[in-house]
């Protein structure tokens, strides 16, 4: 009987040691990478720094979806909204300065260069245009309308 108790104690101890060893050697699942999106722009780095709003597409000439995004961005051009395509090779220094590593990346910045909305990947025209409308005039888009990732105060 005492041998049985000793064996049970040893078995429990072995199981506890095995659990500790397994927990220490278990690897966490890989985390998903995140691509940085600028939070602030120096408006002097871009065309028409005097415009109240700036929509910038950080793109690459080898990116097929960037072409479609540029068409959507161009439709926003007005006296109040400057638009600019910043291509990775032609404008490499701007991609590096703002840490842009993934394209297409669209940012909507106010007169002070504060990024108020952003999209990483290809937004729909509706979402892009709604984001610009919302940052220009808060409350102008219906509730539930996805309009980019808000930045700063809206």
Cα distances from 96 to residues 64, 91, 100, 105, 136, in angstroms, run: 21, 9, 6, 13, 28
Which pLDDT score is estimated for 66?
A: 94
Using omega within 30 degrees of 0 as the cis cutoff, is the peptide bond preceding 104 cis? Answer: yes
Average pLDDT for the chain = 86
105 pLDDT band, cuts 50/70/90, is very high
Mean pLDDT of 44-71: 96
Task: Report residue 99 as tokens.
Answer: 């840490």
Using pLDDT thresholds of 50, 70 and 90, give the confidence band for residue 16. Answer: confident
Whether the predicted pLDDT of 100 surpasses 50: yes
The tens digit of pLDDT for each residue in 117-151 reads 999 999 999 999 999 999 988 877 666 655 454 44
pLDDT at 151: 43
Kindly list the structural domains of the chain, giving each domain's residue range(s) and its CATH number in brackets, ordered by start: 43-136 (3.40.30.10)
* pLDDT number for residue 141: 67
Read off the pLDDT band of 7 (50, 70, 90).
low
pTM: 0.72
């Amino acid at each position: 009987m005492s041998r049985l108790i000793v064996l049970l104690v040893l078995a429990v101890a072995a199981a506890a040691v095995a659990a500790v060893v397994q927990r220490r050697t278990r690897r966490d699942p890989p985390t998903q990478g995140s691509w940085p999106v600028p939070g602030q722009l120096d408006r002097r780095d871009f065309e028409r720094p005097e415009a109240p709003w700036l929509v910038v597409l950080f793109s690459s000439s080898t990116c097929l979806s960037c072409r479609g995004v540029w068409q959507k961005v161009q439709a926003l051009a007005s006296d109040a909204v400057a638009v600019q395509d910043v291509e990775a090779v032609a404008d490499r220094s701007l991609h590096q300065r703002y840490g842009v590593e993934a394209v297409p990346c669209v940012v909507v910045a106010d007169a002070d260069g504060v990024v108020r909305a952003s999209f990483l990947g290809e937004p729909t025209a509706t979402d892009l245009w709604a984001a610009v409308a919302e940052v220009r005039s808060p409350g102008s888009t219906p509730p539930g309308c996805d309009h980019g990732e808000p930045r700063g105060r809206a």
